[in-house]
A and B are shown apart, each in its own frame.
Chain A
Amino acid sequence: MEIRPILASLRKHRIPAVLIVLEIALACAVLCNAVFMIGQRMADIHWSNAIDEQGISVVTVNGADPKLAASEIPRNLAALRGIAGVTAAAAATSMPLDQNPALSPFVTKPYATTTVNSSVYFIGGDGEKAMGLRLLQGRWFNADEYAGSGFKNFGSTGHVALVTQSDANRLWPGQSALGKTLYTDATGWTVVGVVADVLAEDPKLSGPGGMYSSVFFPLQPDGVMGDYMLRSVPQDRERVVREAVQVLGKLQPGAVVEGTTYAGMRSDYFADANSMVWMLVLVCVVMLAVTAFGIVGLTSFWVQQRRRQIGIRRAVGATRGHILSYFRTENFLLSTAGVLTGMALAFGINLYLMTHYEMSRMPWYYLPGSAIALWLLGQLAVLGPALRAAAVPPVVATRSV
């Protein structure tokens, strides 16, 4: 296809041509960044979490008398284990992603400092089963450790802890974490086991690289434990929550009892990210539609304006294919100019967002990716008007000169 006549004709329609280019450029820039943001948020929403997320239900009891905890918690657990379908039950202080952070810095030497805030989880007997933790090295807490560990000054009075694999690698790179001592200020705990990565209670507060910084301690029945974790098969969980709330509501009439599935807790945490993703998707779709309609509108106008010229070309021997490819090539040239400007713009916007909104650098392949998307969009949009142009009969040339 000869492109010189196309360029010559575009030079005569400078303003509409520039408008299409600008529209495509802006759409390309916004598309790149929006898709990148969608991708990042989707990655967040799919963070892995090595507990039995689908099988856990959590019932929270607030406002019970902490002095009675030692007798009430075992009684409550016994009643909860009686619910049909519950395979394990245990008390705990908090859950991953419950947005109720109990954070503490853990280091490998007394009084050392760190920028990572680890999430602290105190779990009662059977906690590892109820939560569905996965042991990678070492052992679980034994019954004596569960029975003999208390809670004081936000710390465990016991002597053992479980760490996640991420923390084991971060704190003791290249070594086994088993048997090492974990410190906060001067207090130390021996690491007896390493579990697969469990998310923090609120990862955004964990500090850089602390998303999977979670430390588990055993705890005897204690008033700080407000969560009851129940494990069942996923199909039973809704019923388990309902029954557990009833059971605990009867046993603790003075307290506030609330239940949720862990899946619900997780989706609460990501609700904002989720709605942002939908909003971005909506914007992208509508934006592409508007751009496409703009191209359709302007090309239709051009086609109509050039009916006579098209007729003449047809009369002197151009085929329908020639006419079709004329308009498609024209659109391709405009799109190319648009996406080239757009890619530069997208890169600039990304740099701006990086400095102002904690955004990370956009991987390069987003640029050609959205360029191709807009090329395709342009070709699709131009197809209708171009087919109409190709349908102009040669006889038009003979009319009203």
Chain B
Amino acid sequence: MFAYYLDLAVRSLKRNKVLTALMVLAIAVGIGASMTTLTVMHLLSGDPLPGRSGTLFYPQVDADPTNDYSHAEPLDVMDYRSAVDLWSAHRADRQTLVVDSKLKVHAPEVNLPPLMEMMLSTTSDFFPMFDVPFQYGSGWSADDDAKHARVAVISADLNNKLFGGTNSVGHTLRLRDTDVRIVGVLKPWRPSPQFYMVAGGRFANGQTDDFYTKPEDVFTPFTSGLEINDGNFWQFTCWHMPDTPGHLQNAPCVWIRLWVELGGAAKVADYRSFLAGYAAQQKALGRITHADNTRLRSLMQWLDFNHVVPSDVHLQTWLAFAFLAICLFNTVGLLLAKFLRRSGEIGVRRALGASRRAVFAQCLVEAGLIGLLGGIGGWLLTLTGLWLVRRQPSAYADLAHLDAPMFFATFVLAIMVSLLAGALPALRASRIAPALQLKTL
């Protein structure tokens, strides 16, 4: 029966090509617009480390001793002292410090002009903690951290730029004025967002595109990085002017992020009390005032707290769905016109013994077919839409690709929308009184 209905549907769609084209187009643009924004939303609001994010936590202490504001929330990042104290306590399964800075990068063996790149100074746990994939070599050891080793890991991008994508492990890189040995090259790695640097989202007024920038190109041990690029570290904020700009080790400033890995609720509770204990101890020492103002948010909680998805993306999603609704109303109207125009035909079918259910099913098959055609159009428009997004200047532009779940979602949404649009007209068509229609034939 389904095949027969499908055949009928195709015939009916062919009969009035303009109307059919209008309906397919309406569904296609509605689906195209909503799937484009939904895909962007899906890519930006997803979990950057599926499976691991539940064990990653972001500790915060309030190191600002002043009372200039309410201190409802501790500062977004940490001062050097608190961060290094908490890190060296090694009370979590893994812990890592991160701080970024810009510096001049040059490969002495390669005849290319120097580049200004972002350097992430971090500790050895960074790579296993965040599942960072390596192409060549590996990260450095905890020993390298302790010894201020002059080593570096570089991104796949930088490796392509400087070494043409070959194995550059063992080669030398000049970071500002210091030569470091490359120990590892990453595979292309593009977490969305760049979660380990997220902070300050509550002050960004929804303009949070920067959270989606690519990871840094050079990674060095925390201790070495601070020495190599001394004088070029920028604070997140300060409660007094620092004495030596760019060198913030003893400055009244916050500028370092600490991440910890805690497997299991008991460990989280332990770490929470350890954090509170640390703050209380520092208060006793007179270094901080707001000791009870500590936080230990999980990765996803921290991303939520920072409203990482830019508000423009939210707005576009809303807009696209309003647009889809308009397309839906439009299709309902056109389908209604189409089905009721065939009242005579339906009357004959009913008179020959077709049940209401059969007429309803026939109409829905036709609506579903329109949905499928609209889905194909919508898929093409989504690809076009994402291509347009990729050409935008935003930091997340290069992320905009249609993945498999969103590809299927496109068709599911298109067919659902068309069935939804078809339900009411089909119901009306199935209620047609056969006698009345036969009389007018």
Could you name 13 residue pairs across A and B whose Cβ atoms are closer than 8 Å?
Answer: A20-B333, A23-B326, A23-B329, A26-B322, A63-B116, A153-B243, A204-B207, A272-B394, A276-B312, A293-B22, A298-B333, A301-B340, A358-B311
Contacts of B337 in A (CB 8 A): 16, 297-298, 300-301
Give Cα A69–Cα B115 distance, bound, in whole angstroms: 20
Whether A291 contacts B311 in the complex (CB less than 8 A), given A255-B114, A358-B205, comes out as no
Give Cα A117–Cα B166 distance, bound, in whole angstroms: 47
Per-position contact with B for A16-28: 1 when CB-CB < 8 Å, else 0?
A: 1001101100110
Whether A256 contacts B116 in the complex (CB less than 8 A), given A30-B319, A275-B392, comes out as yes
- B contact residues vs A (CB 8 Å cutoff): 19, 22, 25-26, 29-30, 33, 68, 102-104, 106, 113-116, 176, 203-207, 209, 240-243, 245, 311-312, 314-316, 319-320, 322-323, 325-327, 329-330, 332-334, 336-338, 340-341, 392-394, 424, 428
Per-position contact with B for A347-376: 1 when CB-CB < 8 Å, else 0?
A: 000000100111000000000000000000
> How many Å from the CB of B173 to the closest CB on chain A?
14
A29 interfacial contact with B, CB 8 Å: yes
Contacts of A286 in B (CB 8 A): 29, 33, 323
Contacts of A271 in B (CB 8 A): 392-393
Contacts of B245 in A (CB 8 A): 153-154
Contacts of A179 in B (CB 8 A): none
| Residue contact B312 to A272, C-beta cutoff 8 Å | yes
> How many Å from the CB of B307 to the closest CB on chain A?
10
| Residue contact B322 to A63, C-beta cutoff 8 Å | no
| Residue contact B334 to A298, C-beta cutoff 8 Å | yes
Q: Which of B242, B333, B392 contacts A153 (CB 8 A)?
A: B242
Contacts of B392 in A (CB 8 A): 271-272, 275
Contacts of A155 in B (CB 8 A): 241
Which 10 A-B residue pairs are closest in the complex by CB-CB distance? A63-B104, A301-B337, A294-B330, A271-B393, A23-B329, A19-B333, A256-B116, A297-B334, A298-B333, A275-B392
Whether A26 contacts B206 in the complex (CB less than 8 A), given A15-B336, A62-B116, A294-B334, comes out as no
| Residue contact A297 to B19, C-beta cutoff 8 Å | yes
Whether A256 contacts B113 in the complex (CB less than 8 A), given A26-B322, A34-B319, A185-B241, comes out as yes
| Residue contact A19 to B205, C-beta cutoff 8 Å | no
Per-position contact with B for A142-159: 1 when CB-CB < 8 Å, else 0?
A: 000000000001110000
A37 interfacial contact with B, CB 8 Å: yes
Whether A23 contacts B333 in the complex (CB less than 8 A), given A256-B116, A290-B327, comes out as yes
Interface centre among A30, A34, A204, A294 (most CB of B within 10 A): A294
Within A220-236, the residues touching B (CB, 8 Å) are: none
Contacts of A391 in B (CB 8 A): none
A113 interfacial contact with B, CB 8 Å: yes
A-side interface residues, number (CB < 8 Å):
50
Q: Which of A154, A283, A297, A300 contacts B241 (CB 8 A)?
A: A154
Give Cα A356–Cα B309 distance, bound, in whole angstroms: 13
| Residue contact B333 to A254, C-beta cutoff 8 Å | no
> How many Å from the CB of A305 to the closest CB on chain B?
8
Give Cα A178–Cα B29 distance, bound, in whole angstroms: 60
Q: Which of B242, B326, B338 contacts A287 (CB 8 A)?
A: B326
| Residue contact A301 to B26, C-beta cutoff 8 Å | no
Q: Which of B19, B29, B322 contacts A29 (CB 8 A)?
A: B322
Contacts of B311 in A (CB 8 A): 356-358
Nearest chain-B residue to A155 (Cβ)?
A: B241
Give Cα A208–Cα B114 distance, bound, in whole angstroms: 40
Contacts of A48 in B (CB 8 A): none
Interface centre among B68, B106, B332, B333 (most CB of A within 10 A): B333
Contacts of A256 in B (CB 8 A): 104, 113-116
Nearest chain-A residue to B392 (Cβ)?
A: A275
Give Cα A166–Cα B29 distance, bound, in whole angstroms: 46
Give Cα A23–Cα B322 distance, bound, in whole angstroms: 10
Give Cα A254–Cα B177 distance, bound, in whole angstroms: 10
| Residue contact A19 to B176, C-beta cutoff 8 Å | no
Give Cα A287–Cα B68 distance, bound, in whole angstroms: 50
Nearest chain-A residue to B319 (Cβ)?
A: A283
| Residue contact B115 to A204, C-beta cutoff 8 Å | no
| Residue contact B325 to A26, C-beta cutoff 8 Å | yes
Nearest chain-B residue to A224 (Cβ)?
A: B245
> How many Å from the CB of A67 to the closest CB on chain B?
11
A84 interfacial contact with B, CB 8 Å: no
Contacts of B341 in A (CB 8 A): 301, 304-305
Give Cα A256–Cα B176 distance, bound, in whole angstroms: 11
Nearest chain-A residue to B204 (Cβ)?
A: A204
> How many Å from the CB of A98 to the closest CB on chain B?
14
A68 interfacial contact with B, CB 8 Å: no
Contacts of B25 in A (CB 8 A): 293
Interface centre among A63, A205, A293 (most CB of B within 10 A): A63
Contacts of A268 in B (CB 8 A): 393
A79 interfacial contact with B, CB 8 Å: no
Contacts of B113 in A (CB 8 A): 249, 256
Contacts of A16 in B (CB 8 A): 333, 336-337
Within A244-274, the residues touching B (CB, 8 Å) are: 249, 254-256, 268, 271-272
> How many Å from the CB of A119 to the closest CB on chain B?
15
Contacts of A358 in B (CB 8 A): 205-206, 311
Contacts of B325 in A (CB 8 A): 26
Interface centre among A184, A271, A290, A305 (most CB of B within 10 A): A290
Contacts of B33 in A (CB 8 A): 283, 286
| Residue contact A272 to B26, C-beta cutoff 8 Å | no
